[in-house]
Amino acid sequence: MTATDLDACKRTAALKAVEYVRDGMVLGLGTGSTAKHLLMALGVKVRNGMKLRGVPTSQETADLAAQSGIALLQTDEPWVIDLAIDGADQADPAFNLIKGGGGALLKEKIVAAAAKQFIVMVDYTKQVSVLGGSFPLPVEIVPFGWRSTVRQIENVTQSRALVRERGRAPFRTETGNMIVDVHLAAIEHPRQMETALNQIPGVVETGLFVGRTDLLIVGKPAGAEVLTASRT
């Protein structure tokens, strides 16, 4: 599978997600490579007369949405988001996710939590039997006392935690925080892990999205597969 083929799978998932968008909706707009395909497809809908407003999860997404003709809500407005659509770095069989590879996990989770429905688009390589392993868990932390926070994260997870860097400096999110990537062999109990990490002072949010996904759209070479979450 080449990078071009994989990108085609992402586009397939994004185009299927667009089918759930209706005129007049307020959309939560995700961040990442699959979300870029989504925004391009939405731009076609807008140019054909569809009225949409959006809440972007990053400045990159805000810029792409504006280019696509999607009116953006201000961040200090009380949102009523009809549908949030985003990608993921991993998705397990229960539709629990790891997100945050692009560093936008805090805004992404705020938007997902505010939405009436949350659709996640992935290419088939992002489906895993258990979270972790090949992809680290991002954890967003405040800069103050970060070394102590990292030590506590390692104590809780019993795993190695590395501060994400850009160049030779710590990576900073759009909200001014840092990202710690926790390398876990497997996350057998994502809800318990999310709760334990969020109890550490200095942790802002984790990249675990547990029990939030309503629909998982998987892009495959043969087309898109739509999976519905079971709430039982």
Positions annotated as catalytic residues are 108
Other beta carbons within 10 Å of 142: 15
- The amino acid occupying position 76 is D
Structure tokens at 8: 């085609």
User: What are the helix (H) ranges across 116-167?
Assistant: 146-157
Cα torsion angle, 74, 76, 78, 84, sign: positive
Q: Which of 97, 106, 110, 127 is nearest to 177 (CA)?
A: 106
What gap in Å lies between CA 54 and CA 61, rounded to an integer? 10
Side-chain-side CA neighbours of residue 139 (13 Å): 33
What are the DSSP calls for 44-57, one per residue?
Answer: HHHHTT---EEEES
Measure the CA–CA gap between 196 and 132, rounded to whole angstroms.
Answer: 16
3-class DSSP assignment, residue 137? strand
